[in-house]
Amino acid sequence: MSKQFSQSHLLGIKDITRKDIELVFETADNFKAIINRPIKKVPSLRDVTIANVFFENSTRTRISFELAQKRLSADIVNFSASSSSVSKGETLIDTVNNILAMKVDMVVMRHPAPGACMFLAKHVKASIINAGDGTHEHPTQAILDAYSIREKLKEVGGKKVVIVGDITHSRVALSNIYCLQKLGAEVMVCGPSTLIPKHIETLGVKVEHDLMKALQWCDVANMLRIQMERQDIKYFPSLREYSMLFGLDKAKLDRLNKEIVIMHPGPINRGVEITSDVADSKHSIILDQVENGVATRMAVLYLLAGKQD
């Protein structure tokens, strides 16, 4: 019997199993080989129509999903809130139902409200993929991040990963915590106490406020962006102070007695959470993460399409 994804939507890493994640990885391995061939396209999703519905800005996720869909020969419609009838007061359900009335099979959605994708999945008849819902989850980012660690270090299980920065406002942090732990990695979060949620230890993560100690502990450091657009109060005195205490620069890396892998989900604020000499160094796998986004998203789309019978 062929292996199947356990869910008909991808709303969050919390809902899926280790087997699901490993199935995505195996499927992505095949797609990665295909997209590195001269003929990059396969007919797997011919006659499947996918709507990319983005209520928030995106560069990587949106382009990566669109490229993944094109490589799989799907038909695509793109929707962005700024150029749609949402600005005239249309609700989320009405907007999506109108798109679905045009015979759309899957919806990839980014929305500023946590839970928006779950709400949609309960109310519409299509497979929903969460491309980031507010401060909640960003499941395909976590999958591509874990896939990139596996590619670089051979496996994720047993590795120590520190997630540094604005954990409170980060959907990438929560999805990464679930994904890495399901794969058997140890996870630490590091940042100013104002940007670390209270009781986060209950998720089974370590908490550290000293970046040098966190870097000494880890095999991998995932540097997150300060999400100014989600902060309504000041969480630290200045970006300069944040960068001195929690930004990663070459001097801090040189003080370590070992090599670590550096990651960042993007977009990068160069000079704030990471300096250019580190972001562009041989320790960084930031562009591998972006490249792996296409193969892993192809895998997710392919596996979810297989559930639509």
Taking CB under 6 A as the criterion, the residue among 61, 69, 127, 135 binding ligand CP is 61
58 binds ligand CP (CB under 6 A): yes
Cβ-Cβ contacts under 8 Å for 113 (sequence gap 6 or more)? 133, 134
197 binds ligand CP (CB under 6 A): no
Minimum CB–partner distance for residue 38 and ligand CP (Å): 28
287 binds ligand CP (CB under 6 A): no
DSSP string computed for 14-39: GGS-HHHHHHHHHHHHHHHHHHTSSS
275 binds ligand CP (CB under 6 A): no
Question: Using an 8 Å Cβ cutoff, are 246 and 236 in contact?
Answer: no
Taking CB under 6 A as the criterion, the residue among 13, 116, 132, 186 binding ligand CP is 132
C-alpha span between 75 and 45 (Å, rounded): 8
Of 43-51, 57-65, 117-125, 254-262: span binding ligand CP (CB under 6 A): 57-65
Report which DSSP code applies to 128: E
Which residue in 265, 275, 11 sits closest to 144, CA to CA?
A: 265
Nearer to ligand CP, 208 or 248 (CB): 248
267 binds ligand CP (CB under 6 A): yes
Report which DSSP code applies to 160: E
Q: What are phi and psi of 161, to 5 degrees?
A: -120, 125
Minimum CB–partner distance for residue 62 and ligand CP (Å): 6
Minimum CB–partner distance for residue 286 and ligand CP (Å): 10
Which residue in 119, 100, 109 sits closest to 139, CA to CA?
A: 109
**Binding residues for ligand CP (CB under 6 A):** 58-62, 132, 138, 141, 265-267
